[in-house]
Amino acid sequence: MSDSGSKFVVLAALTGNGLIAVSKFAASAFTGSTAMLAEGIHSVIDTGNQGLLLFGMKRAARPPDAKYPFGYGKEIYFWSFMVAVLLFTLGAGLSIFEGVEKILHPHPISHPYVNYVVLGLAVVFEGTSWTIAAREFRRVKGRWGALEAVRRGKDPNKFLVLFEDTAALAGLALAIGGLALTQYTGIEIFDGIASIGIGLILAMASVGLAIETRGLLIGEAANQYVVAEIRAVLERGPAVERVNEVPTMHVGPEYVLANISLRFRDDLSRRELQSAIARMDREIKTRCPTVKRVFIEAEHEADDPPAHDDRPDKIDNAPDPAG
């Protein structure tokens, strides 16, 4: 997914959630439905989350400067983590609280068909947003499964909106089910149970998002395919006697830093050594476009670190679009 594609998906979700939130709150105030109130809270938080993502994308696009020489790419990870925190604390917490309150103090729902109309419109809006996000996600993931694509991906924007919209559609299904059971059985606590279910869905979505962004925020390595490709370039170099380590780190979704430790042949002249390093730098960046900075450290025999095998147990030789 390109940056423009990510921005379009987020903008579509923000617009839809903003309109849905207004209609849900109006319906909740008119009918007294707690599940509808929980859904309104959910939509407000989703709208705010998309605003945070747009803000994070803008901040992450700033060029490097003296204070942050590797750029601001990690900002998108920070704001994505904040989205997860807000989903858990505000979205899940308030929805569960309102549901428990409804169970402890049940009250009738008036004009239930107003809720059905609003929820139906919400399904249309959320479904449209989900379709846009899913189409972009399918284009990125290629032949991988959804979970594998999320695990390999280094840009949370590529799956965050899809996560949120999936949780939103599940919440809408619960809200409709809770309202229907309340209307046809006369048991008012079903509305509260639906609100609690919505809160649990939001909690699970937020935990999943937090897990995915945590490693990137700390400093996750590049995908195994990228590391293997870097190592292959180094091992093909005639000037290299041994590849010691190939540690990498994502500074941003499309910005990988590689700090390489090599042992060169002892008979190389200074000019030959410089030429070999420049060649490897060019070839690594050509074969792995997400690798933006390469640092190569020449180790002498006495300085060689202990043997360390950073090769993955199994390499999937399919190209990795996420880098």
CA atoms of 78 and 86, how far apart (whole Å): 12
- CA 91-92-95 angle, 5° bins: 85
Summarize the confidence of residues 295-310 as an average pLDDT. Answer: 64
Instruction: With both helix axes pointing from N to C terminus, report the angle between 93-104 and 189-218 in degrees, rounded to the nearest 10.
Output: 160
Instruction: Give the residue from 6, 7, 41, 11 showing the smallest Cα distance to 24.
Output: 41
Query: pLDDT tens across 162-213, in order?
Result: 777 787 788 888 888 888 888 888 887 887 888 888 888 878 878 877 887 8
CATH of 2-218, one of 3.40.630.30, 3.30.465.10, 1.10.1370.40, 1.20.1510.10: 1.20.1510.10
Region 249-255: mean pLDDT is: 84
Number of Cβ atoms within 10 Å of the Cβ of 239: 17
**Among 3.30.70.1350, 3.40.718.10, 3.40.50.1100, 3.90.1150.10, what is the CATH number of 224-298?**
3.30.70.1350
Would you call 297 helix, strand, or coil by DSSP? strand
**Cβ neighbours of residue 103 under 8 Å, at least 6 residues apart?**
189, 192, 193, 196
Give the CA angle between residues 29, 30, 35 to the nearest 5°: 60
* Nearest to 252, CA basis, from 38, 99, 56: 56
Q: 111 versus 193: which is more confidently predicted?
A: 193
Query: Is there a contact between 60 and 76 (Cβ–Cβ < 8 Å)?
Result: yes
The first and second tokens of residue 296, run together, are 């190569």
- Altogether, the residues listed in the chain come to a count of 323
104-113, 144-153, 204-213: range with lowest mean pLDDT:
144-153
Place of tokens 């998108």: 76
For strands 248-252 and 240-245, give the pairing: unpaired
Residue ranges per structural domain of the chain: 2-218, 224-298
Average pLDDT over the chain, rounded to an integer: 79
CA separation for the pair 277, 280 (Å, rounded): 5
State the burial class of residue 11 (Cβ atoms within 10 Å of its Cβ: 0-12, 13-18, 19+): middle
Do the two domains 2-218 and 224-298 of this chain adopt the same fold? Answer: no
Which DSSP category does 132 fall into? H
pLDDT digits (tens, 9 = 90+) for 36-87: 777 787 778 778 878 888 888 888 888 888 888 888 888 888 888 888 888 7
Scanning the structure block, which residue is given the tokens 């423009």?
4
SS3 108: coil
